């Protein structure tokens, strides 16, 4: 069971974010005990949040794979055949009431 490098980096990013959340809650608990006012998280927690966010964003962009073309004339977007189960393809529905009567001539 081999994990990709991007997946492992994403997992490390999530762990860092979880640790930052735990550290912040512990810090707030300490402030309640000492009766100080919460003015913001410590600098180390802010650094953890930024590092964790960058790692998670990098993993989210690299783990899913390559981006595919969305151009309509691309060969990758051609529909080769219809799905095997045509029972769920419905063309007679209530949306046909809202179709405007437009006489448009197609230019070839």
Alpha-carbon distance of 108 to 15, in angstroms, equals: 58
CA 14, 19, 24, 25 torsion: positive or negative?
positive
> 43-62 and 5-34 helices cross at what angle (nearest 10)?
160
Alpha helices in the chain (DSSP H): 5-34, 43-62
Q: What is the pLDDT of residue 28?
A: 86
- Half-sphere exposure for 28 (CA within 13 Å, toward CB): 10
**15-72 confidence digits (pLDDT tens):** 999 999 999 889 888 888 888 887 878 899 999 999 999 999 998 888 777 766 666 6
pTM of the model: 0.57
Q: What is the mean pLDDT of residues 78-101?
A: 66
Lowest average pLDDT, out of 6-15, 58-67, 72-81, goes to 72-81
Q: What is the pLDDT of residue 18?
A: 95
More confident residue, 2 or 6: 6
Q: What is the pLDDT of residue 64?
A: 74
CB atoms within 10 A of CB 13: 20
CB atoms within 10 A of CB 76: 8
Alpha-carbon distance of 15 to 77, in angstroms, equals: 38
């Amino acid at each position: 069971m081999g994990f990709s490098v991007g997946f492992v980096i994403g997992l490390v990013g999530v762990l860092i974010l979880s640790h930052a959340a735990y550290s912040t809650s512990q810090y707030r608990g300490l402030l309640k005990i000492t009766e100080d006012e919460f003015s913001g998280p410590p600098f180390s927690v802010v650094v953890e949040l930024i590092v964790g966010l960058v790692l998670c964003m990098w993993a989210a962009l690299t783990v899913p794979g390559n981006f595919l073309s969305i151009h309509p004339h691309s060969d990758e977007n051609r529909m080769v055949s219809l799905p095997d189960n045509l029972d769920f393809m419905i063309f007679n529905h209530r949306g046909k009431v809202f179709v405007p009567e437009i006489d448009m001539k197609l230019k070839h």
